Structure 1
Amino acid sequence: MTASTRSGQAALGPRGARGRRIALLDGLRLVAALMVVFHHYVGYGGGNTASDSAWGRPANTVFHGGAAVGIYLWTGICLFFLISGFVICMSSWGRGLADFAKSRFIRLYPAYWFAVFATTAVLMCWPLVRRPLGVFDVLANLTMLQTAFHVDGVDAAYWTLWTEMQFYLLFAIVVWKGVTYRRVVIFCSLWTVASLLTDYIQVTPLDEIVVSSTSSFFIAGLAFYLMHRFRPNLLLWGIVGISWILSTRYALNHQRDVSAVLGLDVPLWPAVLLVTLAYLVLAAVALGWGGTGRIRWRWLTVAGALTYPLYLLHEAIGWTAIRLLRPHLSPWPSVALVTASMLVAAWLVHRFVERPLAPRLKDGMTRAIRDFRATPAAAAPVGTTLPAQGDPAQESVAAG
């Protein structure tokens, strides 16, 4: 880093301790997850015909007013993406690429592997709302890269995981160089321009890299974190403003798609309103409006821990449970019971899958990274006696 860069960073001045966990974001993540749950159970129901709906008929004929609200709550995903941009920028500050990759792997995969197997098992036992995938498709799902292989997800909700993965791969470029204010701003600007150009010229392969439809949410989240860590300024507000405009366009298009699938003609403005509200909420958290920075309720951390397992488990398993409960319970009690059960299941996954596996995966990946760094880059000359396998330190000494 040059002297001018250092002085620029000092001039901005990090506003206090900015690396610590923000409890309110954990609560917002659970709110976003519950929005998606409500959308799938009450607003969507699994389809618009008796054969593919968990309710045996379109959800809007079951819930009426509830479905009129639920049809818009897919926008919880938009809040997810905004928070993701904020949190990834915060958690990767001062970290190297290896640590970034390790933290993402440990965070994402243990609960995901369990959810893939659990969802497959439920669908094999009760193929009521959808049929399970074949063995090789399930194995492809374990990579979390099934979309890249043109393989269906075990659960339809997993499409967002591929979008998140694309964001991580792009932001890894910044992490590789070192996360700084200037680099994040340049990254946000270039990604915005690339998204606009990709959308304009309609190059599908390039769009798979740029993720033009949803990039605005991640970009805004990154800019909000820079406001939080340093201070808001016209440049950052400009990035957020452009991102909001692009996000409202996405909201309109996605709402049209959802409405078309359900065969309903509904107003589009509530989706735009909810996306705008998501932006305002994250701005409040980033800048501490209304005393949001003082919120430290301990239960919010628990709420955050439930979010990811809840999202992974809720859709296909929840629809199956609703179909099984349908002869025994009326709709609203069924929704309440299944949602509560999914929250309990999410806590069990966190307690007995994520927490035990995370430290083991961390140790294993740490050793693997250490071994990789200790192993000499150049191949040993022919005839060289290699040290005993599994001792990278000896390999390094021998190479010297």
Structure 2
Amino acid sequence: MTAPSTAPGPLPDAVTATPPADRSGVPDAPVTALEGKPPGQRPPSRLRALDGLRLVAALMVACYHYGGRDGEIAKAWGSSPSHQFPTASEWFAYGCLGVQIFFVISGFVICMSGWGRPLKDFFASRVSRLFPAYWAAIILVTAVFALPAVAFATVSPSDTLVNFTMLQQPLGADRVLGVCWTLWAELRFYALFALFVVLPGASRHRVVLFCAVWTLAAAMADAADQPLLDIVLMPEYAPYFIGGIGLYLVHRFGNDAMAWGIVGVSFLIGQRYAVDELWHPQNPDFFSYRHTSVIIGIVALGYLAVALVALGKLNWANWRWLTVAGALTYPFYLVHEHLGWVAVETLHQDLDIPSHATFALTIAIMLALAWLLHKLVENPLTPVIKRSISGKRKR
């Protein structure tokens, strides 16, 4: 249950054109114009295309977890996914690159939601966004894995309790949710951004300086090979967060050479980390072989998609259902891997449903569960937690 996972971090919030943000990064009310943007270039009040991109990235990760790797999912299928999906599994193996796309989106959204708001409000929005569905997912997965009919191993009660803090990885505890290792990366990004941008007050100059210093410091940390520096500066993840921040500067201030320079450098560094992590020489003992050019291409497409959102080129994708899709992405991400194992085993081995139908049904079931978590957990608890932390009473 705690096997390493290459799923993305917490999916960024539903996004709107400008901060300050309300629940889930959504502003209290649309602002009339973006700073630096003439009236004719104002985007719609909600960036629904970014919600859709989040869903696409989440489905990429689900494809990876259900058909692009071995491990516990092979036990659920009864054989390796490469046997269940002889052709598709080669492409499913690229689904783990959704992590890069998610981190780019996160950089964009966190810069947007933290701009022009006090530190206390920023902290309240992050806690109220991340923890309700996360707590519910821990309880749900622990309960399901405790059932006698479920053959997958659970973690100790002590480690389960530590997981509620979201600090289980640095404390060395087993993870209830395999994907939650990326939440630790997100928390560190939030801390850096809060300390160096939100606390002193966001401005174009300060954000540009933050991106430049973090890029250089992360490269130096990689060269120094010091564990503490790696933990704080996250050289393997920093380029994606920084790239998203640069794209938000483009979105807020228009075409700007400095902002595009931040994006370009972050992509050049980021693709190198993606290749270094995911590429290996062809080896028949490995589950899959990922081509370098395809890895670079998928990372580039992720940057390009967020860039099109930043430039307003996808404003036409303003369908309301994308808002719902964006709201379901985070709870879907939390529960889809481990509960997906149980669903696949039940549908495919117990009920003898064919592989492709099981694959589709499992995704549908996880989306339905995500909708329930959103409606029954996030909707009631998020505003309560946010008001409690920020000290703002409901009007």
Query: TM exceeds 0.5?
Result: yes
Q: Which amino acid aligns with 2:142?
A: T
Alpha-carbon distance change, 179 to 224 in structure 1, aligned in 2, over 3 angstroms: same
Q: What is residue 35 of structure 1 aligned with on the other side? A: 60
Aligned match for 2:115, one of 86, 93, 106: 93
| Structure 2: distance between partners of 1:77 and 1:127 | 32
Is the Cα–Cα contact under 8 Å of residues 44 and 262 in structure 1 kept in the other structure?
no
Aligned match for 1:316, one of 307, 330, 338: 338
Q: What is residue 7 of structure 1 aligned with on the other side? A: none
Aligned match for 2:275, one of 252, 263, 282: 252
Is the Cα–Cα contact under 8 Å of residues 93 and 290 in structure 2 kept in the other structure?
no
Is residue 239 of structure 2 the alignment partner of residue 184 of structure 1? no
Is residue 312 of structure 2 the alignment partner of residue 288 of structure 1? yes
| Structure 1: distance between partners of 2:374 and 2:282 | 34
Is the Cα–Cα contact under 8 Å of residues 18 and 228 in structure 1 kept in the other structure?
no
The structure that is helix-richer by fraction is 1
Is the Cα–Cα contact under 8 Å of residues 280 and 289 in structure 2 kept in the other structure?
no
- Per-residue CA deviation, residues 96-129 of structure 1 (Å, 9 max, x unaligned), is 1000000000000000000011111111116756
Give the deviation of 1:168 after TM superposition: 0.2
Alpha-carbon distance change, 304 to 276 in structure 1, aligned in 2, over 3 angstroms: same
Pairing of 1:145-164 with structure 2 (within 5 A): 145-164=167-186
Is the Cα–Cα contact under 8 Å of residues 331 and 374 in structure 2 kept in the other structure?
yes
Alpha-carbon distance change, 318 to 45 in structure 1, aligned in 2, over 3 angstroms: farther
| Structure 2: distance between partners of 1:100 and 1:15 | 28
Is residue 103 of structure 2 the alignment partner of residue 78 of structure 1? no
Alpha-carbon distance change, 137 to 359 in structure 1, aligned in 2, over 3 angstroms: same
Q: How many residues align?
A: 353
Aligned match for 1:243, one of 254, 266, 270: 266
Pairing of 1:31-180 with structure 2 (within 5 A): 31-46=56-71, 53-125=75-147, 130-173=152-195, 174-180=197-203
Gap runs ≥5 in structure 1: 1-11, 371-400
Q: Which amino acid aligns with 2:63?
A: F
- Per-residue CA deviation, residues 36-64 of structure 1 (Å, 9 max, x unaligned), is 0011101125358xxx6321222112101
Taking structure 2 as the reference length, the TM-score comes to: 0.85
| Structure 2: distance between partners of 1:214 and 1:21 | 27
Q: What is residue 228 of structure 1 aligned with on the other side? A: 251
Is the Cα–Cα contact under 8 Å of residues 137 and 152 in structure 1 kept in the other structure?
yes
Is the Cα–Cα contact under 8 Å of residues 168 and 174 in structure 2 kept in the other structure?
yes
Aligned match for 2:227, one of 201, 204, 220: 204
Give the deviation of 1:15 after TM superposition: 4.5
Alpha-carbon distance change, 89 to 285 in structure 1, aligned in 2, over 3 angstroms: same
Q: What is residue 325 of structure 1 aligned with on the other side? A: 347
Root-mean-square deviation (Å):
2.2
Q: Which amino acid aligns with 2:308?
A: A
Q: What is residue 327 of structure 2 aligned with on the other side? A: 305
Between 1:296-305 and 1:317-326, the stretch displaced more is 317-326
- Per-residue CA deviation, residues 313-335 of structure 1 (Å, 9 max, x unaligned), is 00011012111222221111111
Is the Cα–Cα contact under 8 Å of residues 15 and 231 in structure 1 kept in the other structure?
no
Q: What is residue 218 of structure 1 aligned with on the other side? A: 241
- Per-residue CA deviation, residues 183-239 of structure 1 (Å, 9 max, x unaligned), is 110000000001110111111111100011010000000000000000222222211
Between 1:84-93 and 1:18-27, the stretch displaced more is 18-27
Aligned match for 2:292, one of 268, 286, 294: 268
Taking structure 1 as the reference length, the TM-score comes to: 0.84
SS state at 2:329 partner: helix
Between 1:216-225 and 1:237-246, the stretch displaced more is 237-246
Is the Cα–Cα contact under 8 Å of residues 72 and 341 in structure 2 kept in the other structure?
no
| Structure 2: distance between partners of 1:194 and 1:287 | 29
